[in-house]
Amino acid sequence: MFVVESYSWAVFFCLITMLCWGSWANTQKLAGKEWRFELFYWDYVIGVFILSLVMALTLGSFGEQGRSFLEDLAQAQAGNVASAFLGGVIFNAANILLVAAIAIAGMAVAFPVGIGLALVLGVVVNYLAAPIGNPGYLFAGVALVAAAILLDAVAYRRLPGQGQGAGTKGLVLSVLCGILMGFFYRFVAQSMSLDFVDLEPGKLSPYSAVFVFSVGLLLSNLVFNTLIMKRPFVGTPVSFTEYFKGEAKLHWIGILGGAIWGVGMVLSIVASGQAGFAISYGLGQGATMVAAVWGVFVWKEFAEAPAGTNRLILLMFLGYLAGLTLIIVSRFA
């Protein structure tokens, strides 16, 4: 299987993850012009599953290092398979909240608040489990990201009509998403061998772990999204009939969104062999800044904000950049 052999390549992969995780939601914004996020989400989940399977059968099966995908699955212990599967279930619950928050509050808010909070919790949880990197630099970077989250929340509250009702619901969903999202990665990491070249018996390879994760995501969606369709956060209930009546282009947009996120997940997990789980996850969740760029400059989500809001947005971006820089250098500081 393909293995990253240097920290510089690991950082590069994490930056690609950041772009993927921060950009996939544009597909939801596009599809959202014609149908509800609950319908989009079925295709998104299918896209993640297909991408993980393709990666496992190609990069996860070719080459001389490690074990091939099918061989790896056959020898895996049930506890490790269950851990990766649970990671997919937890991620799904968190991501549905994120998608709902995007539909209500926009990318420029849902990502910095929800995924920014997930970054803070995820780095702490993964560092405690596998302490790689200088904790002073690492947690200083996390603190700056936390400050950027608060600035974004303050900026969002300045938008007309966001002090109550749907605006408050968007923030609440983002916070709940962040709390859950901060823990899914640890379960996937726990299922894997720490050495990607000489894989531990009973443990999963990074490609197998992501595949099992995607199975947990897919199967749990049959429960979670079905419930959300019947009792939506906003609007009237949605039927499965509407999903099957959707145009082919809408389905492909959702699948593309899932595939984009899936590429980021695979690269993040593969990079963790050199970067460590805390740094790999933390850099990937720099997606918050990428999504905020999309939301602010492309989707114009703060166009109606009062004077002075742009300063808060600028400080948010600077906080994220400084925080991510400290997280990168913490590996060898």
pLDDT score recorded for residue 222: 97
In 3D space, the residue among 296, 268, 295 whose CA is nearest the CA of residue 282 turns out to be 268
- In this prediction, residue 155 has a pLDDT band, given cuts at 50, 70 and 90, of confident
pTM listed for this prediction: 0.90
Q: Which domain holds residue 79?
A: 7-329
**pLDDT of residue 67 exceeding 90:** yes
Residue 330 carries which DSSP code? Answer: T
- Inform me whether the pLDDT recorded for 145 exceeds 90: no
Q: How far apart are CA 159 and CA 298, in angstroms?
A: 17
330 touches 134 (CB < 8 A): yes
Residue 219: inside a domain: yes
Q: Is residue 1 part of a domain?
A: no
Give yes or no for residue 115 having a pLDDT over 90: no
Q: Is residue 82 part of a domain?
A: yes
Q: What is the pLDDT of residues 275-325, one digit of tens each?
A: 999 999 988 888 878 888 888 898 887 888 899 999 999 999 999 899 989
Residues 131/133/139/140 CA torsion (nearest 10 deg): 170
Domain count, the chain: 1
| Close Cβ partners of 109 (under 8 Å, ≥ 6 residues apart) | 101, 152, 153, 156, 170, 171, 174, 295, 301
DSSP string computed for 167-197: HHHHHHHHHHHHHHHHHHHHHHHHTB-S-SS
Confidence at residue 9, expressed as pLDDT on a 0 to 100 scale? 95
* 19 domain residue, yes or no: yes
Q: pLDDT (tens digit, 9 = 90+) per residue, 18-63?
A: 999 989 989 988 998 889 999 999 999 999 999 999 999 999 999 8
Q: Which of 71-85, 138-152, 299-313 has the highest mean pLDDT?
A: 71-85
The count of other CB atoms within 10 Å of the CB of residue 79 is: 11
The answer on pLDDT for 135 being more than 70 is yes
The mean per-residue pLDDT over the stretch 188-204 comes to 95
Please return the burial class of 50, using the count of CB atoms within 10 Å of its CB with bins 0-12, 13-18 and 19+.
middle
Tell me the CA end-to-end span of the chain in Å, nearest whole number.
Answer: 31
- Integer CA distances (angstroms), 246 to 229, 234, 253, in order: 15, 20, 11
CA distances from 212 to 67, 77, 85, 108, 223 (A): 16, 13, 5, 31, 18
By CB neighbour count within 10 A (0-12 exposed, 13-18 middle, 19+ buried), where does 146 fall?
middle
- Looking up tokens 């966001």 gives 162
What is the C-alpha radius of gyration for the chain, rounded to an integer number of angstroms?
19
Place of tokens 């947005």: 313
Q: Is the pLDDT of residue 164 over 60?
A: no
Residue 75 domain-assigned (yes or no): yes
pLDDT for res 167: 61
- As a whole number of angstroms, the distance between CA 148 and CA 323 comes to 9
Report the pLDDT value the prediction gives residue 183, as an integer from 0 to 100: 94
- The answer as to whether 165 is a domain residue is yes
Calpha distance 233→191 (Å, rounded): 33
What confidence score (pLDDT) does residue 163 get? Answer: 52
Q: At what angle do helices 248-275 and 206-230 cross, to 10 degrees?
A: 140
Residue 161 binned pLDDT confidence (cut-offs 50, 70, 90): low
Residue 248 resides in a domain: yes
The answer to whether 290 touches 274, Cβ cutoff 8 Å, is no
For residues 40 and 257, is the Cβ–Cβ distance under 8 A? yes
pLDDT of residue 160 exceeding 90, the answer is no
Q: How far apart are CA 231 and CA 332, in angstroms?
A: 49
Residue 267: inside a domain, yes or no?
yes
Strand partners, 204: 192
Contact by Cβ (8 Å): 98, 158:
no
